Amino acid sequence: MTIRSLLESSPRVLFLGHQNADPDAICSMAALAELYGQLNRQGHADLVCDDVSRLAVQVLEKFSPTTKVSASIEGDYDLVVVVDANNTFQFGERLQSFQFIPSKTVVIDHHEPNPDIAQLSEHPIIKSDASSTCEIVIELYDELGISVSPTAASLLLAGIVFDTRRFFYATGGTLDCAVRLLRAGADYQTVINSLVSKPDRSERIARLKAAARLRIQVVDDWIVVTTSVGAFEASACRSLIELGADVAIVGGSPSKGVVRLSSRSTNEFYAQTGINLGRDVMEPLGVVIEGIGGGHPNAAGANGKRNRDKALAVSIELIRDALAKKLPHTDEVT
């Protein structure tokens, strides 16, 4: 069955996005619901995802304040359209138990396909080379010969601008899509403004305090910084990377007996050193703070009970040791 006949023949359609749905997911869902409404005037569409990111809420409020997104699935659907995800674990705990029927599930996504995609959907539209799911949705409008409304154009442009980090990761095809959306009535200035987020005052103060208390160390030419804050450790980490650190490790102690560690590194640091913050730094630090740590190569954290400052000191030693192992100095080579 074609996507057209699936949409035309389904009276009730569920558009399902991933957990903490970002502007690409939410805008794709909203634009797809509109496209479905064009194909099936009597049809009923529901938009569902576990939660919506703050920025995505902001974009919806700007362009489509009447769009409703719910957090749970109620009732039955004739068709499920999974958007900006192709793996069930991405839906979050609450929606994980939903039973997908592959013949009645469409997947529209730009991430690398999950090898078990056939168990989820018989109708996957997965284009890993697309900048965003919104870009795939525009192609779908074209294929189905449906014109994009100014509202849908703005939503789709917001998703593209967000997922490409303001066209940093764009291709000629992406720019071509953007021009078409502008011609369809997208409001570029409002799109850009809708994607600007200013953190709350308390978060900005935490970032500034993190910077004020910074310890800067140069380890094998890499700038490694450590600091402590009450809360907003992850946000502080990101801001320190933006300031120029290669690695940032921030300890937080939001209340007595609670220690949280957060860390970030640049892609360049991981590519050149192979140091995985989750495995090489946060896992051992989890023990130091009497808790548990782990995460990704470039972003990792740990939660525990005590020894925050000790952990920050140990983190430098761990990085120093890992660098010594991975990059032996020439004078150490015999």
Footprint on this chain of Mn ion (rule: CB under 5 A):
24, 84, 133, 163
Choose between 24 and 283: whose C-beta lies nearer to Mn ion: 24
For Mn ion, the closer CB: 84 or 233 = 84
Cβ proximity to Mn ion: between 137 and 302 the closer is 137
Least Cβ distance, residue 24 to Mn ion (angstroms): 3
CB of 39 to Mn ion, least distance (A): 23
For 197-252, strand residue ranges (E) read 215-219, 222-229, 247-252
What is the residue-wise DSSP string for 21-43?
B-HHHHHHHHHHHHHHHHH-TT-
In this complex, which beta carbon is closest to Mn ion, that of residue 110 or of residue 207? 110
Please tell me the number of Cα atoms within 13 Å of 264 on its side-chain side. 16
Nearer to Mn ion, 83 or 302 (CB): 83
Element (H, E) at 134: helix 133-143
Shortest distance, CB of residue 287 to Mn ion, whole angstroms? 36
Helices vs. strands in the chain: H and E counts, helices first: 13, 12
Minimum CB separation of residue 49 from Mn ion in Å reads 13
* Cβ nearer to Mn ion, comparing 84 with 283: 84
Nearer to Mn ion, 130 or 319 (CB): 130
Pairing of strands 299-304, 215-219: unpaired
SS (H, E, C) 139-207: HHHHHCCCCCCHHHHHHHHHHHHHHCCCCCCCCHHHHHHHHHHHHCCCCHHHHHHHCCCCCCHHHHHHH
Cα(66)–Cα(112) distance, rounded to whole angstroms? 32
Least separation in angstroms between residue 84's CB and Mn ion is 5
Q: How far is the CB of 158 from Mn ion (least distance, A)?
A: 12
- Determine phi and psi for 200, rounding to 5 degrees: -60, 160
24 vs 233, beta carbon nearer Mn ion: 24
- State in angstroms the smallest separation of the CB of 107 from Mn ion: 13
Which residue, judged by CB position, is nearest to Mn ion in the bound state? 24
| Closer residue to Mn ion in complex, CB, 3/161 | 161
Q: What amino acid is encoded at 146 in this protein?
A: I
Nearest approach, Cβ of residue 23 and Mn ion (Å): 9
Give whole-number Cα distances, 304 to 215, 260, 278, 283, 309, in Å: 22, 6, 15, 11, 12
Q: Least CB distance from residue 28 to Mn ion, whole Å?
A: 8
d(Cα 72, Cα 93) in Å, to the nearest integer?
11
Q: 231: exposed, middle or buried (C-beta count within 10 Å: 0-12, 13-18, 19+)?
A: middle
- Residues 52 and 95: their CA atoms lie apart, in Å, by 14
